[in-house]
Each structure stands twice: as structure tokens, then as C-alpha cells.
Amino acid sequence: MLLITQHGSPSSPSAQQGAEVSILETLLRTVVLVGLTLALAAIFRFWEPAVKLSQKTATTHAWQSLYSVFHIETALGREQLILVGIILFCFAVALVVQVAGLFALKMIRNRS
């Protein structure tokens, strides 16, 4: 899809939003995102306050209702749902951290 600018030259929508991201930069961002997610997941595995928080969360009424929504009746199924919840939470936090970091880098580059 091409857009016509004021000067009559076609431009892509991505060009209007800023410079395109290279494949190498995309791969680097992906590796950083996966690394942050795994690092945060390791915190939930090895840091005692985070372990207690996840256990406390898993016993809440809202979390218990997820077991019935997904028809989970076994202990293994419950553990897998808790693991999926932890990974999704860690991914969301890692994504926020990455976006904040990219925004901070952009602001620093613009000042220079």
C-alpha cells in the first residue's frame, strides 16, 4: 500500500513512522527479550520471596477458578498452568523493560 505525500512521491507507512529496523537488530531484540524472560523466570525459581508470592497467587480464588475454566483436575495440570502463568508474567515484564530501555536509548540518542 502506497501513500502519496504532499510532494507527490510515494512512501510506505513504515517509512513515515521512522527508520526501518534491520534483521540483525530484530534478532538482537528477540534474544534480549528471551534472555530477560528466562532471567525473570529464574528469579521465580530461586528467590524465596518470589517463590512464596507465586505460591500465594496460585491459592487465590481467581487462580483456582482458572482450573475449572480449563478443566484441569490433576496436580500435573495445575503445575503446568502455574508455570505457564509465571512464564507469561515474566514475558510481559521483560517486554515492558525492553520497551522502556529502547525508549531511553532513543531519548539519549536524540539529545546527542
Which pLDDT belongs to residue 3? 43
Inter-residue contact 90 to 37 (CB < 8 Å): yes
Mutual angle of helices 48-58 and 23-46, in 10-degree steps: 80
What percentage of the chain exceeds 70 in pLDDT? 84
The CA-atom distances, in angstroms, between 35 and each of 11, 15, 31, 65, 66 are 36, 30, 6, 31, 28
Sort residue 18 into left (φ over 0), alpha (ψ -120 to 50) or beta. left
* pLDDT tens-digit readout, 51-86: 999 889 988 999 999 999 999 999 999 999 999 999
Is the overall model pTM greater than 0.85, yes or no? Answer: no
Q: Give me the amino acid identity at 32.
A: V
Whether the predicted pLDDT of 88 surpasses 80: yes
Band of the pLDDT at 18, cuts 50, 70, 90? low
